[in-house]
Structure 1
């Protein structure tokens, strides 16, 4: 029986490979610094090498992978400075998007957002972190879909993969998740009350706190090899 990938049209096949690799990186199946061997990816996905190479080029443009001389493609690592820069952009864009969503979203969109918040609480009890990250992504998808600014949505969606990597890092601090859920509950309450200014500030603080948690984890990772070598 043929693999579903073999039956896909060329354009769909390219998207299939890109999406698989992107999601695998975002969800931690491929780790920072890990080599991505074209032959192994071809066998895994049952696709041709050109399809894999095109997907890798796209992910390189998104800064999810880097091409290392003599080693080939590898999953990108994020430095502490890059993380700080990304969180700064995220705070500006997301706080604005939340403000505009609170102001412009329909009642139906607010109800959809409430459903994603409830799902976040459910997935917080699930040991599969990938489902939790997907639930958080769905939360932001609703906000971006109702903020009324296509450019902000496009820019944030282009950063979504790297933001998800950092979000996964911040969740790895054991006490961050309960804090994050409380912040999201407060954020949603302000949105539901149609308080744009309050929602904007709550969104900014949520990102600031996520940055603190992620930076603490990144700093630990940076010092771990030194400690191991003592």
Structure 2
């Protein structure tokens, strides 16, 4: 059942609103990856019925943010190194194509909208607010992908939004500071404005695969330590 606000605008169902709040708690690390979720506790926390909580958890299961196991309970999905590798690979494939195609549709009003997002990033970088930076990252990348003109790419990307935002939770450990994260998006916008497809594709790949390089570096160090090298 959908609710309406005082203006008559249709709002999300209660279960979706709760699912959104649970996502935010996970991304803010108020709820940990791998943590068990109890329907009774959540029903009390949100002051709703267990059936509403069950519907909210079903939404999160479809988005692969929780795992529901018969007779074992519901758990926040763990995020493995393989998950990180797969998200990096998928983002690179989709965004490299979408960003280069977006250059053909980029107008001045789009540039102004993207500049506004980047300006907000500067503010949040100064405040050292990773969560806000990651939310703005999602806004920036989603905005550009929607300019690519391929409805199927857009639909696939939309279906990955929750997984990508969960992936972003891990990025703070790979960036030396908040400013460098902001700088990368400023450079991405400059590349888009140039409309040079090679510069754009290179910028996107460098931005996304930067984390993969850091991961590989960490794995190499771990292996060296394991073998006392």
Q: Shorter-chain TM-score: what band?
A: 0.7 to 0.9
1:146-187 superposed Cα distances (whole Å, 9 cap, x missing partner)? 222222122112112121222221123350644333322221
Give ranges in structure 2 of 5+ residues lacking alignment: none
Equivalent position SS for 1:103: coil
> What residue in structure 2 maps to residue 31 of structure 1?
32
1:86-141 superposed Cα distances (whole Å, 9 cap, x missing partner)? 21011111111211222212210111011111111211122443222211122123
Distance 2:78 2:164 in 1: 13
Distance 1:210 1:174 in 2: 8
1:197-225 superposed Cα distances (whole Å, 9 cap, x missing partner)? 311221011110023346667x69x99xx
Give ranges in structure 1 of 5+ residues lacking alignment: none
Q: How many residues align?
A: 216
> What residue in structure 2 maps to residue 50 of structure 1?
51
Distance 1:141 1:29 in 2: 26
Mapped pair 1:21 → 2:22: yes
Contact 1:26 1:161 in 2 (8 A): no
Change in Cα spacing, 1:153 to 1:27, as seen in structure 2 (3 Å) is: farther
Distance 1:141 1:21 in 2: 22
Distance 1:213 1:23 in 2: 26
1:39-82 superposed Cα distances (whole Å, 9 cap, x missing partner)? 11111212211111111112112211112454411111111122
> What residue in structure 1 maps to residue 171 of structure 2?
170
Matches for 1:180-191 after TM superposition, within 5 Å: 180-191=181-192
> What residue in structure 2 maps to residue 95 of structure 1?
96
> What residue in structure 1 maps to residue 123 of structure 2?
122
Distance 1:31 1:102 in 2: 39
Mapped pair 1:193 → 2:194: yes
Change in Cα spacing, 1:33 to 1:154, as seen in structure 2 (3 Å) is: same
Matches for 1:83-162 after TM superposition, within 5 Å: 83-162=84-163
Distance 1:200 1:151 in 2: 20
Change in Cα spacing, 1:212 to 1:36, as seen in structure 2 (3 Å) is: farther
Distance 2:111 2:213 in 1: 29
Which one has more relative contact order, counting CA pairs under 8 Å at least 6 apart? 1
Change in Cα spacing, 1:188 to 1:162, as seen in structure 2 (3 Å) is: same
